[in-house]
Structure 1
Amino acid sequence: MGQAISQGAQSHETRAQGPRLIALAGPFQCGKTTLLEAILAHAGVIPRQGAVAAGTNVGDASAEARAHRMSVEPNVATLDYMGDRYTFIDLPGSVEFAHEARNILPVVDAVIVVCEADARKLPALQLVLRQLEELRLPHFIFLNKIDAATIDVRDALGLLQPASHTPLLLRQIPIWSNGVAVGFIDLALERAYVYREHAPSEVVDIPQGDTTTEKEARYSMLERLADYDDALMEELISDIEPPRDQVFDDLTKELRAGLVVPLFIGSAEKGAGVTRLLKALRHEAPGIEAARARLGVDESGPALARVIRTIHTPHSGKLSLARVLRGVFADGETAISRHGEDRISGLSRLLGASIVKATEAKAGDVVAFGRLDHAQTGDNIVANAKAAAAELAHKGAAVPDPVHALALTVKDRKDEMRLAAAMAKLVEEDPSLVFVHDQELSQIKLFGQGEMHLRVALERLASRFNVAVEQSKPTVAYRETIRHKVTVRGRHKKQSGGHGQFGDVVLEIAPRSRGEGFAFSERVHGGAVPKQYFSSVEAGCQDALAHGPLGFPVVDVEAVLTDGSYHTVDSSDMAFRTAARIGMSEALEKAEPILLEPVLAVDIFVPSDAMSRATGIVSARRGQIMGFGPRDGWEGWDRLETLIPEAEMDNLIVELRSATAGAGFYQARFDHLAEVVGKQAREIVTAHSARANGG
């Protein structure tokens, strides 16, 4: 038996007070946005439920979401239901936009996980549930599309359970008629309901043929609750029917403690099952007090909020969407973050793309603060006073490493400055985007979480900022080194009236072990080259390394100054630097230069049944498999340790996700430089030379 959370008689669990924040999460295309639409319709916020396919829904209002028919950013909707205020945030289901949840989830009160009884989506569901478990967030499961289900709900429970470390608790069972779920029995209330499309379900008597099934399912639910309640266990052993209030107290306490995950059923598209889901939220989900305790935020102190998203709008400017954790904020107050002070210029609530002005924001509310120029996503902000240093020092969630990259070129050169300014705003909205100007390769690069992630970023760049770019595959930072040791003389002599220029060096050039870099030393005897010029000779050697015979920077080379000569009048630092550069360039040509490519250590994580597909992908990319085995702490997942040339990394994430129903991912880091030989080396050098010459 698990640790008991109650002893003896129970008092009725207190319903949380104040505004609540509920996230909708789950795998891609399971119906989260449709469920949000059904909730809005049920609460009377909209007159009728729209459809995602028709583009008539409140969420996914951006042009990019409409065009791709998928959530590409969180959808926010604040509403009142039965006298309580709720903010729902519909989180994107695609793994490419999963990072959007990282700063939102820590401050929510509870999560509704929308899913289907589909084995193909289990790995994606496991990713979602693991994140909620790590954050210790209470969460419900809404088993969607029950009207089209072909599997018994208890079989569905068994299918879904491996994705969750926390036990799933069946709260409802369907009523079947001719193979179609036409309603459900609530196991806690012991009531039956018949679905009515886009209307509250109708209470009916439990069908005669379902009474036995209902009693068995209810007893299983109570048994699971009794694992954490000694009093309930004693009642079950003694065949005593527990009072309904006690059952609901246990359901509430065990949900909030993260001991169980209640499972509800319904059809978001038809608005079925929404009433019971909302009432469960109303009575069982915790409020802001639990969120403060989880975050370690004191109840007393100046008004405190956390920025969970940054939005740049064409008419309202910068909006900082935040959850108020403590106190009350008002328009015009000073807001202090770790980056500076701003004056709040307007408070708003969001309903999809609509912005509704608010007069104040109290603890639990989710509001958009206007024009907080210093505040960034993840920052804590306080009103009119300095908070504890730890509160102000809070930073946003760690940004996931990028897994896809593009090289960008503006179509119109006059847009180069506008590109940088526009990308700065996009990166502020989405910190997982990385925008860099690679000086060595003379390329502007954009890194992100996948092909669709970057496509949407470029679409926003064009539609919102009117900056059009062309994209290409990023250039690989090749290097070269030498194979043999050579000795050369570098001589620079120039006479043009007055003082001339004279420098003369003898250099011994040799390869070094991979990764050792450049080294310089001298073995000059008899003052053939004065000591004052040694540093200039070293600088001249390094000058030559910037562009080797093959056209790439040279690495892992040793240069030794062994001899030379000088002129008492014409020798200078510049003359010896030039002589050394000439000598080093000649030596590199003679020492049989070879091409090197960067090789990355890539750790690939995939569901176990996709392991063979993953190894095939690696082999097709000239990769080496260094090891493999189970992923620590992840049942049903494997880890593949590989070495893959950087030149072969393009679209790797696309292939991995295609082979794993969107769940696979990797982590990469530079490992070493490896020699490229034969035809491949010649093709790389030829292509580089053509680009350098404008070909």
Structure 2
Amino acid sequence: MNEKVNGGSRNVAIVGPYLSGKTTFLESLLFVTGAISRKGNVKDGNTVGDSANEARDRRMSVEVSAASCTYQDTRFTFIDCPGSVEFAQETYNALMGVDAAIVVCEPIRDRVLTLAPLFKFLDDWEIPHLVFVNKMDRANIHVLETLHALKAVSTRPLVAHQYPIMQGEQLVGFIDMVSEQAFQYHPGAPADPIPFPEHLKAEEHIARAEMLETLANFDDHLLEELLEDIEPPHEEILTDLKLELGADLVVPVFFGVAEQDYGVRPLLEALLREAPEPESTAVKRLSAKTGNAPIAQVLKTFYTPQGGKLSLVRVWQGTLTDGIVLNGVRTGGIYRLMGQQQQSVNQVGAGEIVALSRLDGVKTGDTLSTEAKVKALPKAQPLEPVYALAIAPEKRNDEVKLSSAITKLLEEDPSLAWEQHGDTHEVILWGQGEIHLHVALDRLRRKYNLPMSTHLPQVPYKETIRKPVSSVHGRYKHQSGGHGQFGDVYLDIKPLPRGEGFTFTETIVGGVVPRQYIPGVENGVREFLAHGPLGFPLVDVQVTLTNGSYHTVDSSEQAFKQAARLAMQTGIPQAQPTLLEPILKIDVNTPTEFTSKVLQLLSGKRGQILGYEGRNDWSGWDNVSAYLPQAEMHDFIVELRSLTLGVGSFHWEYDHLQEVPEKLAERILVHSNGNGNSK
């Protein structure tokens, strides 16, 4: 089935902070366009967006949802994106394939700051966007204050496209800032024109003057008109809005109450008039000459409960037909999506966002084409992991299935990562926060029948020695009938500078230990180092074989290996073993107003502050550098977000090992499980 439309298409992402009402806004868009006959709500779990079980369990978006509808002969594909910072990767991936974005937010001053990272991403990629101030029936600040607060966190100038008409705390209408025509809202119907409210004349005049002055910064003719007090024609203002929005030079602002459909129709009209067409977006993205071959890009990968793979793609060029071969893989079908509902189509052209089935081996962000040599399109970089859990299948027999299931999980969500830790031998799942990982674990259980047990990852402590010991003797003698076993060594053991690891040398003279047995000595030392007297791997140690003796019949490499282990067991406790912990180099990004709290947070976690400075290319933000013990990192992201309204972030990398303070080391060793891992 191919639905005909005459007015082209628009692909629009719905983005914004958690609880701003994006999913409700999507329901309203679908309702007023006639795509659905009845609106669902998040509480009842019957919305088109948030249709996954994991989303409905939590009453929050955890992955993108696509929905298509037709309005005035134009096909709109809306992509509802999660608001939680823990699922920002979903949002960023989807934004790479749209023509414009609607930023949904609340008129609450304290929450405006949460928009800053989103605005920055949109502007870094020059993605045109509008703001829809939702929940105006709950506004706690004046309209002009709302605009001022939004301007403070946007890197592009904001222009009020509407001025809301309030009656007490209720939104009852709006003034169109282009025509200065006032309208009154009605439940379930379009707004009607009404006389201009005289009591708003002064406020509206201020906001409109700011809008025109902002547009005039990009249009000399409009600037001349304003300087000469000439009222610009409405068509000129609309043309400027379209041009400046399409170039991501200004951000128009609308107001409404999505729950009552207020403000939704005017916003749709503005998208029709002013949002860039798919063709102009493609010109920006396909910067190089590409010929005429079909080109698409994967915005999201889904594994459906039935086990089928769906790839949500933006078609940038050419036509996709049923069964087309892309990147050497034959597609299984083409579908338009309405949440979890799928409508099969035979072909789609450039500018569409659809789902393709069975693209095995294709990942989110990949560029698809029928041609072998097509330049890869830019894609959002995977977010760095900041929170971890150690996982294990509840049933031992499921271990063989785990790797395959996690691979699919990572295809769906590139901001997840996993590792088999070499020191602790744990499988560690990394992500963007606690909820993020628990959603992933729910998917393992539901989709792949892999219930998992979890615990905090063990800290990979090490140990070293503080002082040298000389001529430590180790003799291994064993007689069990026939040939015996005999090895005899003397070792010097000394500490090395931090980070040097392990070195083995020998100063044997006169053949007291034959050459063929020396590798056995080194192997015995290395085996001992894997599990020192405190229970952890031993590092930064030099061991020198200085002397020994052998038996012509009973000596062997294995006997010298055992002798070396005995010498280490005797010598290391004399060398004052001490516990080491991994120290991370961490760079924390925070709004400047929270910098002092971040410094306190780091200091309270035994962090060593290295300094802080303004964050590059982020006005009003700081970057704080510090050393942080890995043992203190687990909940760091949770506390950081709590201090910074959810917008704080950090980059980390392993830096060095450092001695654990004595009292803390005692507690760690008491709780150690005896095999080199701290619980």
Q: Which band: TM-score by shorter chain?
A: over 0.9
- The one-letter code matched in structure 1 to 2:411 is E
Amino acid at match of 1:348: Y
User: Cα distance 1:575–1:178, how it changes in 2: closer, same or farther (>3 A)?
Assistant: closer
Confirm whether residue 427 of structure 1 aligns to residue 410 of structure 2: yes
Equivalent residue number for residue 269 of structure 1: 259
The alignment status of 1:459 with 2:449, answered yes or no, reads no
1:152-551 counterparts in 2 under 5 A?
A: 152-178=142-168, 180-295=170-285, 296=287, 298=289, 300-315=291-306, 317-336=308-327, 341-383=328-370, 385-388=371-374, 390-391=375-376, 396-487=379-470, 488-551=472-535
Structure 1 pair 320/178, CA: closer, same or farther in 2 (3 Å)?
closer
Whether the 8 Å contact between 1:601 and 1:668 is mirrored in structure 2 is yes
Task: State the one-letter code of the partner of 1:564.
Answer: G
| Kept in 2: contact 1:461–1:467 (CA 8 A) | yes
Q: Secondary structure at the match of 1:601?
A: strand
Question: Would the aligned equivalents of 1:347 and 1:369 in 2 still touch at CA under 8 Å?
Answer: yes
Are the equivalent residues in 1 in contact too, given 2:108–2:139 (CA < 8 A)?
A: no
SS in 2 for 1:320: strand
Shift of 1:479: 0.4
Cα distance in 2 for partners of 1:291, 1:504 equals 77
Alignment-derived partner of residue 606 in structure 1: 590
1:298–1:42 CA distance, 2 compared to 1 (3 A): farther
- Taking a change above 3 Å as real, the CA distance of residues 575 and 627 of structure 1, as seen in their structure-2 partners, is same
Alignment counterpart, residue 28 of structure 1, candidates 12, 15, 18 = 18
- Contact 1:20–1:109 (CA under 8 A) maintained in structure 2: yes
Whole-Å Cα distance in 1 between the matches of residues 112 and 480 of structure 2?
79
**Aligned ranges 1:144-155 → 2 under 5 Å:** 144-155=134-145
Relative to structure 1, the CA distance from residue 505 to residue 691 in structure 2 (aligned partners, 3 Å threshold; closer, same or farther) is closer
Checking the alignment, whether the CA contact within 8 Å between 2:588 and 2:623 is kept in structure 1 is yes
User: Using the alignment, how far apart are the partners of 1:112 and 1:297 within structure 2?
Assistant: 28
CA deviation string 1:504-535 (max 9, x = no partner): 22211000111111112222222323344433
**How far apart are residue 480 of structure 1 and its match?**
0.5
TM-score normalized by structure 1?
Answer: 0.92
How far is the alpha carbon of 1:628 from its aligned partner?
Answer: 2.6
Tell me the residue number matched to 1:3: none
For residues 32 and 693 of structure 1, the distance between their equivalents in structure 2, rounded to whole angstroms, comes to: 45
Deviation at residue 227 of structure 1 after TM alignment: 1.1
Q: How do residues 126-141 of structure 1 correspond to structure 2 at under 5 angstroms?
A: 126-141=116-131
Q: State the alpha-carbon separation in 2 of the partners of residues 209 and 676 from structure 1.
A: 68
What per-residue deviation string (whole Å, max 9, x for no partner) do you get for residues 554-578 of structure 1?
0000011212223344433333333
Q: How far did residue 132 of structure 1 move?
A: 0.4
- Conserved in 2, the CA contact under 8 Å of 1:624 and 1:642? yes
Aligned residue pairs total 672
Cα distance in structure 1, aligned partners of 2:524 and 2:424: 22
Query: Are the aligned partners of 1:379 and 1:395 in contact in 2 as well (CA < 8 Å)?
Result: no
Could you say if the C-alpha distance between residues 668 and 694 of structure 1 is closer, same or farther in structure 2, counting changes exceeding 3 Å? closer
The one-letter code matched in structure 2 to 1:562 is: T
Q: 2:652 corresponds to which letter in structure 1? A: A
Aligned CA distance change for structure 1 residues 476 and 118 (closer, same or farther; 3 Å): same
Residue equivalent to 1:676: 660
CA offsets, 1:481-501, max 9 Å, x none? 111111212223334455543
Map 1:40-189 → 2, pairs under 5 A: 40-178=30-168, 180-189=170-179
For 2:427 and 2:307, locate their aligned partners in 1 and report how far apart those are by CA, in whole Å: 30
- CA distance in 2 between counterparts of 1:564 and 1:690 reads 33
Specify the SS of the correspondent of 1:484.
coil
| Cα distance, 1:160–1:692 mapped onto 2, change above 3 Å | closer
Flag the 1:74–1:297 CA change in 2: closer, same or farther, 3 A: farther
237 and 683 in structure 1: CA distance in 2 versus 1, 3 angstrom threshold: closer
The answer to which of 56-65 and 636-645 deviates more is 636-645
Q: Which amino acid aligns with 1:347?
A: I
Q: Partners in 2 of 1:694 and 1:379 — Cα distance?
A: 41
Distance change >3 Å, CA 395–CA 165, structure 1 → 2: closer
Tell me how far apart the structure 1 counterparts of residues 108 and 448 of structure 2 sit (CA, whole Å): 41
Q: Is 1:596 aligned to 2:580, yes or no?
A: yes
The amino acid of 1:82's aligned partner reads Q
How many Å apart are 1:395 and its aligned residue? 7.7
Report the CA distance between 1:370 and its aligned residue. 0.8
Q: Which amino acid aligns with 2:305?
A: P
8 Å CA contact 1:195–1:272 kept in 2: the answer is: yes
CA offset at residue 17 of structure 1?
6.4
Q: CA deviation at 1:182?
A: 1.1
Give the aligned partner of residue 5 of structure 1: none
* CA deviation vs aligned residue, 1:312-362 (integer Å, no higher than 9, x gap): 0123601111111111111112121xxxx2211111111112111111121
Q: Could you tell me which amino acid in structure 1 is paired with residue 197 of structure 2?
A: P
Structure 2 residue aligned with 1:12:
none
- What is the TM-score normalised by the length of structure 2? 0.94
Give 1:583 deviation, angstroms.
1.9
Determine the C-alpha separation between the residues in 1 that align with 2:307 and 2:658: 52
1:654 aligned onto 2:644: no
Q: Partner letter of residue 444 of structure 2?
A: L
CA contact (8 A) 1:505 1:563 kept: yes
Structure 1 residue 157, shift from structure 2 partner: 1.0
- 2:93 match: secondary structure: coil
Unmatched segments (≥5 aa) in structure 1: 1-15
Cα separation, 2, equivalents of 1:316 and 1:473: 30
- Shift in Å, 1:112: 0.7
3-state secondary structure, aligned to 1:654: helix
Instruction: Give the whole-Å Cα distance in 1 for the aligned partners of 2:204 and 2:588.
Output: 45
Alpha-carbon distance in structure 1 between the residues aligned to 2:288 and 2:357: 24
Give the structure 2 partner of residue 10 of structure 1.
none
Cα distance change of structure 1 residues 285 and 299 upon mapping to structure 2, 3 Å threshold: farther
Q: 1:283 to 1:69 in 2, by over 3 A?
A: same
Inter-CA distance 342–316: structure 2 relative to 1 (3 Å threshold):
same
**2:549 corresponds to:** 565
- Over the matched positions of the two proteins, sequence identity in percent amounts to 45
In structure 2, stretches of 5+ residues that fail to align are: 1-5
2:41 aligned counterpart, secondary structure: coil
Q: Deviations over 1:575-623 (max 9, x none)?
A: 3333223322322122121111112122222223323332332233222
What secondary structure sits across from 1:306 in the alignment? strand
Q: Distance in 2 between matches of 1:450 and 1:681?
A: 28
Correspondence for 1:6: none
Contact 2:107/2:136 (CA < 8 Å) preserved in 1? Answer: no
Contact 2:86 2:432 in 1 (8 A): yes
SS at match of 2:672: helix
Alpha-carbon distance, 1:205 to partner: 2.5
Following superposition, the deviation at residue 420 of structure 1 comes to 3.2
Partner in structure 2 of residue 632 of structure 1: 616
Q: How far apart, in 1, do the equivalents of 2:381 and 2:243 lie?
A: 31
Following superposition, which runs of at least 4 residues in structure 1 exceed 6 angstroms of deviation?
691-695
Give yes or no for contact 1:300–1:326 (8 Å, CA) kept in 2.
no
